[in-house]
Structure 1
Amino acid sequence: MEKDLLDVIFNSEKRKSVLLMLDDGQKEMPIILSSLNTTRSALLPQMKILKESNLIYKSGDSYGLTNIGKIVADEMKTFLNTLETLDKNNIYLATHKVGGIPETFLKRISDIRECQLIEPTIINAQEINLDYFKVALASKTVYFVFTFMHPACPWVLGQLADNNINVEIIFTRDLVNKLIEEWTDEFRHYIAYDNVKFYVYEKEVGISSLTVTDGGLLIRLLFCNDEFSNKQLLCQSPQGRQWGKELYDYYLKDSKPITHI
């Protein structure tokens, strides 16, 4: 049965398209034909196969998904979205430590399929992404996870905090120790802000950095050999933003507040 269903679904582009289209609800035949740019005579044999496989039902001149069809369409959409994500970012994901992303979120990587690769030049490697910084300045709260300190971070933090934007930052233990040693005054200064919260995460963080604004996320992964990479993935879709916020919360639940140094 499983093999038959796979054949039914993936051996015909028309059948696959019909299932995905009907996932949004029952459709009349003229709408289906128009969307697929096909004729009734060409599509009816494919609809017959889907109906015989208990994936769709017919009501008058309309078609919809059965309960089984709904399950299949939902899983198919997730699978195809995952393939799209992997295909679009194949080189980046193949050369970077994707395994550093917690498994729960890796399984949902299709949530960030609308991301774009940001690759600063060597000259601009130490500069911040100004376009994304503008998005941060328009946010109510900005969330960070840092395993390293970008040279511009104190300036960015100052701009956000002084504009009454809530800022939450999770640091690794090694980075906290470095900040206390090398940036003592700055660290102590921002701890005193009511709208700034610092946390320390004692476990290993598999990613390099994460920024979540009201408008999306910016994530940086390590190279596969654990070396630093300046390449980042930017995602500004609501679904991607939710993925990023939940990833931040994943680290937050095992983090401890830093209230003084």
Structure 2
Amino acid sequence: MNPNLLDLVLFSEKRKAFLLLLKEGPKNTQEILDRLQVPRTALLPQIKKLKEQNLVIHEEGIYSLSLIGEIIIEKMQPLLDTLEVFEKNEDFWADRKLTPIPSHLMKRISELGDYHLIEPDLSHTFDLNPEFVKYTSASNNILMFFSYFHPQFPDFFLKLARRGTEISLIVGESVYSRLEEDFRKEGEEFLGMENTNLFILDKKEVEIPAVVVSSDKIMILGLFNESGRFDRQYVIGFEPRAIEWGRDLLEYLRNMSREIKIKEKREPER
């Protein structure tokens, strides 16, 4: 087998698209041309190279993957998905601190899928990001970590909790101290509800993200840049795998946190 097999598979968009199409199952020539939207003269030379390396079989007008081709494409898909995540916003990822994401979740970064990047809204410099508010407000349950304090957070989460949204918040000690000092009344009401929980992440040696949200609707991830600043850029994903990935990151943080036990749940009305 040619030692440049990796180059053959990865470094041609036409060959890559053709192999991924055959991953769905055998296809005839016309179906391949229709699906890939490429001229026959441009595709056939690429197919010839794949056949020469025994990755593709052509029998009675039908193209299919060989056993070797099936194995390679199965292993190739996670790599392609991972590359797609980083290539989609190369400058963003190059300037992020990724160490707060544990290795087992970095290996699953492809699960972010077709995410979007929310840029800072300069017209709302001192407000919560409008898209953050929109999507979290539409959720029925929210698990969230935030390492910085925003003065609109207490009122925002209290309003959601009052209408029945299930909310579990994980915060750092400095954030909790700010809540106690300046928003005691709101904090006591929040903690007194049956549908709320509050955890403190007090392991100072652990590197942390800026913000993580996972709800039944959405996943949001905010990371500090290499300068240690949070520039209010968020990765936002709607796919189930992205939401699950965010929840696993939050569970990782929650497992290192302690729950605030001082609240007294409201007695049911008689």
Into which bin does the TM-score normalised by the smaller protein fall?
A: 0.7 to 0.9
Q: Structure 1 stretch 57-66 or stretch 138-147: which is displaced more? A: 57-66
How do residues 1-261 of structure 1 correspond to structure 2 at under 5 angstroms? 1=1, 3-38=3-38, 43-58=43-58, 60-203=60-203, 204-260=206-262
State the 1:52 CA deviation: 4.2
Is there any run of 5+ residues in structure 2 with no aligned partner, and where? 264-270
Secondary structure in 2 aligned to 1:259? coil
Secondary structure in 1 aligned to 2:124? coil
Q: Could you state the TM-score of these two structures normalised by the residue count of structure 2?
A: 0.83
Is there any run of 5+ residues in structure 1 with no aligned partner, and where? none
Task: Give the whole-Å Cα distance in 2 for the aligned partners of 1:8 and 1:89.
Answer: 25
**Relative to 1, partners in 2 of residues 1:145 and 1:11: Cα closer, same or farther, differing over 3 Å?**
closer
Name the count of aligned residue pairs: 261
Secondary structure in 1 aligned to 2:197? strand
Amino acid aligned to 2:248: E
User: Aligned-pair RMSD on alpha carbons?
Assistant: 2.6
Amino acid aligned to 1:256: R
Task: Give the whole-Å Cα distance in 2 for the aligned partners of 1:42 and 1:185.
Answer: 69
Say whether the 8 Å CA contact 2:158–2:186 is kept in structure 1: no
State the 1:113 CA deviation: 4.6
- The share of aligned pairs that are identical, in percent, is 30
Amino acid aligned to 2:87: D
State the 1:119 CA deviation: 2.5
State the 1:170 CA deviation: 1.0
Say whether the 8 Å CA contact 2:222–2:230 is kept in structure 1: no
Say whether the 8 Å CA contact 2:120–2:231 is kept in structure 1: no
Say whether the 8 Å CA contact 1:82–1:110 is kept in structure 2: yes
Deviations 1:138-193 (A, max 9, x none): 32211100112211111211121111111111112332233233333322221111
Secondary structure in 2 aligned to 1:212? strand
Task: Give the whole-Å Cα distance in 1 for the aligned partners of 2:231 and 2:13.
Answer: 39
Deviations 1:75-129 (A, max 9, x none): 3333333333223222222223233322222233333252222222445122123
**Relative to 1, partners in 2 of residues 1:4 and 1:228: Cα closer, same or farther, differing over 3 Å?**
closer
Say whether the 8 Å CA contact 1:125–1:230 is kept in structure 2: no
